[in-house]
Amino acid sequence: MKSRWVDADAQAAVDHYEKLGVGNDLALRVYTTRLLGQDPQLVLHGGGNTSVKTRIPDLVGDETEVLCVKGSGADMATIEPAGLPAVRLAALKKLRALDTLSDDELVRIQRANLIDPAAPNPSVEILLHAFMPHTFVDHTHAGAVLSLVDQPNGAELAAEVYNGRMGFVPYVMPGFGLAKKAAGVYEANRDVEGLILHKHGIFTFGASAREAYERMIEMVTRAEERLARRRNSVFVACELPERIAPYSEVAPILRGACSLKDPMVEGAWRRLIFDFRTSSAILNYVNGADVMRYSQGGVVTPDHTIWTKNRPLVVQPPEDGKLADFARDARAAARTFVERYQAYFARNNERWEGKKRPLDPLPRVVLVPGLGLIGLGRSKRDAGIAADIAEAALKVVTDAEAIGRFESIGEADMFDMEYWSLEQAKLGSEPEKPLAGQVVVITGAGGVIGAATARAFAGAGAEIALFDIDERAVVARAKEIGGAAMAVKCDVADPATVRAAFVRVVEAFGGVDIVVSNAGIAWMGLIGEVDEAVLKQSFEVNFYGHQRVAQNAVKVMRQQGTGGCLLFNVSKQAINPGPRFGPYGLPKAATLFLVRQYALDYGADGIRSNAVNADRVRSGLLNADMIAERSAARGLSERDYMAGNLLQREVTAEDVAQAFLHQALELKTTGDVTTVDGGNIAAALR
């Protein structure tokens, strides 16, 4: 590992922040914090922290000695000075004399001593930084150091590699206890350049930002060099079936297995989103004959547990053509995982006199021999974090096994970390949105109604896949929504592109829960004279298009076994034909029947099928020219034409989107048609 310190860049940071009124110490602290944070071998997703002791004016202008320490959960790669809240140092140092200090008390004291009362909470490792006398203190969970010391003889290995230059702190959970212990180790030998924390990570110290940073690089490099020497070969591969089923067939089965029925609401499930990874290193790990031993050892550093839980679910290799067997085994394995987690919770909560509330017991990482690993989360973002951490952890364990035997902290320590209120705070306390964990496909998403629907479902917390024949339009819509929203080019008139589009969604998210089948094209013509080719073309899009989308969705939903929801845009034409609109209305009427057929045939699978019958909505099918032409033909103003209904209100794409969302949330409603037309007795269902 090489130092990435560049004098010119450091100076540029100093100059830049000086203009913003930030002192040199803090500017350089930001510079090297980013250098550390941008290297995934050192820091991942909010792990690690840094600090600087400096002097700044407080809010009334009095010069004050402070500790600027990374805010809890902040991202080091992109940190700004505001991400390193300043706390009065004298108050923190005083705490060293206490015998015990509760987490709540620590949080109260640090908040009371923040220079800016609106600043974020400082890192949970604040006191360790405060108790060291050095100006700059850097802390990472560097993978190479973890491979070296996540071993039963981690202390000996650290002594061999660091030769007295680093202190060694036996495992203690982060917080006040660890800070006191680390301070004791440092005070026993004030010459050390940093501390190795057994089964946790590394601290380095410096009088300057550069010194602390470059010590980190040097110490991690020494660990890397040791890992490169005297390696055992890892891992011996297990016997795999000759043909492994593709991930797109396997994922929905696993996603169903890793879901939980909501005990409070009949028909509701707790679902997770998937993020799949594979590489030669991942396959070498998951295909090992001994994977059930080394993968189940526990986390490589304690703060991973909030993202990955303590251990992954391992399933059988999925043999092509034998997915029914795979599904049975995978469900049993997931059930066992859940039961074990619940037992682990109950066992350890006893020590806490029943004070802790259980988190969901579902796995956050699944290892699939023959395929790779999957990160799981309530959102695509969380699933990606779990996958990143699992990938990094797998490398740590691989290297640990290459020089010895991987060993994690004990179960009680893992539990105390997983259920530590200060760790849970990193996950945020916002209430979950109603469609969190669900995957929604929307066809015709490049259009006005499709786009409004995509926005509505994204707002309800779902992951969104937008399908449209117009790729540019749908890419732009996905960008507007942001996050993990994906754009897929799909022509519903072409069975192959529909199939391929569903494969892409399953590969991206793990499955499909809700489909809004909205794509349509309006053809016109007097029914007695219309060319049969036109009628057939319209049926291809306005009937078979819906059928193909629904058929592909139902296949995935049944593999998952957690129900699902099909929603169709049938339009007013399905119920109340308009003059010369036969070529459009006829297939739409067939689609209305299709809605009911799906409701009937798949109700027992928990799959609901509903439709929205909307009318006179500004969209690609009713554009400005058509509105001008039709309102003129009726002798009406455009406004009166658009609001020509019982309520005299114009119906918008957002109204249609809200109707779809409502149907998606109504778990006891199927075979329903919701009318969104401002009132039109001739089009009323009877």
Q: Which residues bind Zn ion (CB under 5 A)?
A: 201
Q: Smallest distance, Å, CB 674 to Zn ion?
A: 52
DSSP assignment of 204-247, as one string? Answer: EEESSHHHHHHHHHHHHHHHHHHHHSSPPP--PBPP--SSBPPH
Nearer to Zn ion, 201 or 317 (CB): 201
Q: Smallest distance, Å, CB 45 to Zn ion?
A: 13
Nearer to Zn ion, 47 or 317 (CB): 47
The DSSP bridge partners found for residue 50 are 138
Q: Smallest distance, Å, CB 351 to Zn ion?
A: 23
Nearer to Zn ion, 169 or 607 (CB): 169
Burial class (CB in 10 A: 0-12, 13-18, 19+), 341: buried
The answer to whether the CB of 397 falls within 8 A of the CB of 406 is yes
Nearer to Zn ion, 201 or 372 (CB): 201
Q: Smallest distance, Å, CB 94 to Zn ion?
A: 23
Nearer to Zn ion, 201 or 318 (CB): 201
Q: Smallest distance, Å, CB 303 to Zn ion?
A: 6
CA-to-CA dists, residue 131 to 43, 67, 103, 200, angstroms: 23, 10, 17, 18
Q: Smallest distance, Å, CB 174 to Zn ion?
A: 6
CA atoms within 13 A on the CB side of 239: 0
Name the token pair of 63. Answer: 């010069």
Nearer to Zn ion, 201 or 437 (CB): 201
The answer to whether the CB of 146 falls within 8 A of the CB of 197 is no
Report the C-alpha gap between 571 and 204 in whole angstroms.
Answer: 66
Instruction: Report the residue closest to Zn ion, judged by CB.
Output: 201
Name the token pair of 140. Answer: 């990472």
Q: Smallest distance, Å, CB 49 to Zn ion?
A: 7
Name the token pair of 102. Answer: 């509760």
- Crossing angle of helices 209-228 and 154-162, rounded to 10°: 110
Nearer to Zn ion, 46 or 252 (CB): 46
Report the C-alpha gap between 515 and 465 in whole angstroms.
Answer: 9
Nearer to Zn ion, 110 or 613 (CB): 110
Q: Could you say which DSSP state residue 405 is in? A: -
Q: Smallest distance, Å, CB 140 to Zn ion?
A: 8
The answer to whether the CB of 441 falls within 8 A of the CB of 384 is no
Nearer to Zn ion, 201 or 363 (CB): 201
Strand ranges across the sheet with 607-614: 486-489, 463-468, 439-442, 514-517, 564-569, 607-614, 673-676
Cis peptide before 235 (omega within 30 of 0): yes
Q: Smallest distance, Å, CB 306 to Zn ion?
A: 12
Nearer to Zn ion, 49 or 560 (CB): 49
Nearer to Zn ion, 201 or 375 (CB): 201
Q: Smallest distance, Å, CB 81 to Zn ion?
A: 22
Nearer to Zn ion, 145 or 653 (CB): 145
Nearer to Zn ion, 417 or 512 (CB): 417
Q: Smallest distance, Å, CB 417 to Zn ion?
A: 10
In 10 A of CB 662, how many CB atoms?
15
CA-to-CA dists, residue 661 to 134, 291, 457, 556, 598, angstroms: 56, 43, 7, 21, 19
Q: Smallest distance, Å, CB 477 to Zn ion?
A: 41
Name the token pair of 100. Answer: 């015990």
Burial class (CB in 10 A: 0-12, 13-18, 19+), 222: buried
Q: Cα–Cα–Cα angle for 544, 550, 551, nearest 5°?
A: 85
Name the token pair of 339. Answer: 């039961």
Nearer to Zn ion, 215 or 546 (CB): 215
Q: Smallest distance, Å, CB 125 to Zn ion?
A: 6
Q: Which residue has the tokens 């470059």?
A: 214
Name the token pair of 265. Answer: 């609401």
Strand ranges across the sheet with 372-377: 273-277, 372-377, 365-368, 313-314
Q: Which residue has the tokens 């004279």?
A: 529
Residues near 522 by Cβ (< 8 Å), separated by ≥ 6?
581, 584, 621
Q: Smallest distance, Å, CB 368 to Zn ion?
A: 30
